[in-house]
Amino acid sequence: MIGRYANQRNFKELLNIREFYLMALGSLLILFSYFLEPSFPLLASVLALCAVAVLGGPIIWGAVTGLMQKQMNVDELVSLAIIASVAAGEYLSAAIVAFIMVLGSLLEKFTSQRARSAIQSLIRLSPAEASVLQDGVETVLPLGEIKAGDLVVIRSGERVPVDGVVMKGTASINQASLTGESLPVEKSVDDPVFAGSISYTGMLVVRVEKVGEDTTLGKLIRLVHEAEQLRAPVLRVADKYARYFTPFIVGLSILVYLISGDMYRSITVLIVGCPCAFILAAPTAVTAALGNAAKNGILIKNGASLEELGRIDATVFDKTGTLTKGEPVVEEIIPLNGKPEKYILSMAASAEKYSEHPLAGAVFQAAERSQSIIYDAENFRQIPGQGIEAMVENKKIFVGTAPTGADHPLSEMTAKTYLTVKEDDQPIGYLGISDEIRSEAKLLVPALNRLGINKVVLLSGDRRTVAEHIAQITGIKELDAELLPEQKLDAIRKLQEQKYKVIMVGDGINDAPSLTTADIGIAMGAMGTDVAIESADIALMADDLTKIPYVIKLGQATLKTINYNIMFALVFNLLAILASSMGYLSPVLGAVTHNVGSVFVAANSAKLIRKKFLLK
């Protein structure tokens, strides 16, 4: 690999026409020099020197520029090898070495492109223009001219260009590019839609809320790009030792020449001594893993988090919004005084119609699902600390927290929250409400145990009975309940003091301090939630708990790939240097050998992009 191409941002430089023309010109000069050498040696030498200038010039210039900036990289070794070959009168050999090094760099980058394909595909998800509804007339406008508050029309087969809210219509939307969900999601009035998703059927009129870089897709692309630039600790270590390679290899090359008196051996040592495969070991693996994660609706904010995932041995879960859906539902109706269940639900929902309490929403939704009649309520009032009261069908209906206690039929030893419903001050029934557990939560603990993570803890701010109920269903053995945010933070720190590497999984809002303090913070359901994306190291774009074992497996596989790449690169370089010192490799063969190692490392890392980690 050539030092000036080490920066991922320069990737497009390899694909411009001028670069390929230089390659073509250099190869033609080498071919003419080779065939003309027997008959016209002087002309052949001139053509070979021209090839050296075309192909080796940028390499030497990169080395000189680096030295002027007091930076040393592998360009120096290749430059010295080319200059030494020219000084020895081996012009054609110098040209062939330069050609193979440039060609190897291009092949290596094309191999690495596979690792970036998923990230690049995110950029292509957003359309360049959209149909905007202005005074009842549709006008196609560039995305840059669309602003918040505009109405955008999205038809079947079109990509959603903005983040917004559905004002009219229904459609089946595929959000897989953002959330990793395999099935389309039905969208109708008041539902949010996100840029980059695609409409399968139907038509929507969407009120624009965010455009371009401000959309969820835009933030995802920005954060993934930032993650590529943040270097993992193992990569920083590789860079540190790579700085010493150049003076070491130069010294070794001089020693080989002094011992053997063979200039070609000395030149070959300079060529194969470039630690390119070693330098590529970590960044190619990290880039591939980031692409895999992005493709599956997982946003990893930096390479260090990927590396840390491979060392995790403890996982801590929040309850509400994490193991549960965070949406209370009515699960039980207990009739009193001969009143039917549907009547109790109808009266309660009618009274709660104007309440903003989350439990009121659960009651109202239960009534709608059961097709209970919802009447208009009058004289609605809230009673602080007790509940609400309203007149429904000329009856005074009260809905509030049910009494509990050992001598009461609704004991405190339950995971449900009960509401009492009264009609004209007489109880007519109880409504049992609980937070629905996610269906995949029961699979989590066994999956984590198989990954070697046996420390699984539930930390909840809810009642102990509720937390114990959730823990029993999910198989979590350790729990603590009735915790304030700072107490959750203390629990995380205690685990870290016990030398555990801790993942904290929460909703990214009230768990923000714990997400930040844990070795790895994972935020659930981050799509459209700025706090979740900013507070956690990793954000799951959908509410899918199976992504947690997935991302841990991805981290473990990434660390394993990096370690394998580093071991291969070290052994490969040492063997190549040894072979060169003993005269088994010529400068040309040394250049080929050098690039084989680099391409192998890049190809091995690229396998991570397509790897699947199933929850068994």
Residue 14 pLDDT grade (very low, low, confident, very high; cuts 50, 70, 90): very low
Q: Judge if 359 and 448 occupy the same domain.
A: no
Q: In this predicted structure, what is the pLDDT of residue 510?
A: 58
Same domain, 468 and 523: yes
* pLDDT tens string 243-285: 677 788 888 888 998 998 888 888 888 878 777 777 778 778 8
Q: What are phi and psi of 5, to 5 degrees?
A: -100, 5
| DSSP state letter for 188 | -
559 to each of 304, 460, 580, how far by Cα in Å?
11, 32, 31
The CATH number given to whatever domain includes residue 414 is: 3.40.1110.10
| Backbone conformation region of residue 554, classed left if phi is above 0, alpha if psi is from -120 to 50, else beta | alpha
The full length of the chain comes to: 616
Task: Say whether both 106 and 198 belong to one domain.
Answer: no
What's the CATH code of the domain at 542? 3.40.50.1000
Partners of 154 in the beta sheet? 204
75, 150, 163, 318: the catalytic one is 318
Q: What is the pLDDT of residues 563-578, one digit of tens each?
A: 899 899 889 988 998 9
Position 315 in a domain: yes
Write down the pLDDT at residue 412: 52
Residues 478 and 534 in one domain: yes
Query: Domain for residue 615, yes or no?
Result: no
For 198-207, how does the pLDDT look when each residue is reduced to its tens digit (9 = 90+)? 887 788 999 9
Indicate the burial class of 231 (C-beta count within 10 angstroms; 0-12, 13-18, 19 or more).
middle
Is 583's pLDDT higher than 70?
Answer: yes
Same domain, 107 and 20: yes
Examine the domain organization and report whether 116 and 235 are in the same domain. yes
The token pair that represents 180 in the structure block = 């990793």
Whether 444 and 537 map to the same domain: the answer is yes
pLDDT at 214 over 50: yes
Establish if 261 belongs to a structural domain. Answer: yes
Mean pLDDT, the chain, rounded, equals: 80
> Of 417, 437, 457, which marks where a domain is finished?
437
The Cα 591–Cα 97 span in angstroms is 6
C-alpha 19/C-alpha 513 separation (Å) is 50
Total domains, the chain: 4
Selection from 103, 92, 2 nearest residue 46 by Cα: 92
Q: Angle formed by the axes of helices 263-272 and 547-581, to 10°?
A: 170
Residues 297 and 373 in one domain: no
Per-residue DSSP letter, 319: I
The two most distant CA atoms of the chain are separated, in Å, by 115
Find out whether 101 and 59 touch, Cβ atoms under 8 Å: yes
Helical ranges in 411-511 per DSSP H: 444-450, 464-474, 485-497
| Residue located via tokens 């949010």 | 192
Q: Which of 146-155, 213-222, 417-426 has the lowest mean pLDDT?
A: 213-222
pLDDT at 182: 46
Q: Which tokens belong to 585?
A: 């490799």
Helices (H), ranges, 333-399: 341-351, 358-369
DSSP letter assigned to residue 159: B
DSSP of 204-258: EEEEEEE-GGGSHHHHHHHHHHHHHHSPPHHHHHHHHHHHHHHHHHHHHHHHHHH
Say if 616 falls within a structural domain. Answer: no
Residue 86 and residue 16 share a domain: yes
Domain boundary, last residue among 213, 242, 267: 213
In this structure, of 78-92, 345-359, 409-423, 572-586, the range with the lowest mean pLDDT score is 409-423
112 lies in the same domain as 10: yes
Contact (CB, 8 A) for 544 and 571? no
Tokens 């193991």 -> residue? 323
Residues spanned by the domain of 393? 325-437
> What is the Cα–Cα distance from 152 to 130, expressed in whole angstroms?
7
Boundary residue ending a domain (419, 437, 455): 437
Q: Do both 443 and 533 map to the same domain? A: yes
DSSP state of 8: G
- What is the rounded CA–CA span in Å between residue 598 and residue 280? 7
The answer to whether position 169 is within a domain reads yes
Find out whether 102 and 592 touch, Cβ atoms under 8 Å. Answer: no
Measure the CA–CA gap between 591 and 576, rounded to whole angstroms. 10
Identify the bridge partners of residue 151 per DSSP, sorted by sequence position.
133, 207
Whether residue 350 is contained in a domain is answered as yes
- The terminus-to-terminus CA distance of the chain in angstroms comes to 40
Is 318 known to be catalytic?
A: yes
CATH of the domain at 164: 2.70.150.10
Using alpha carbons, select from 28, 76, 81, 78 the residue that is nearest to residue 51: 28
Domain identity same for 267 and 397 = no
Q: Is a pLDDT exceeding 50 seen at residue 1?
A: no
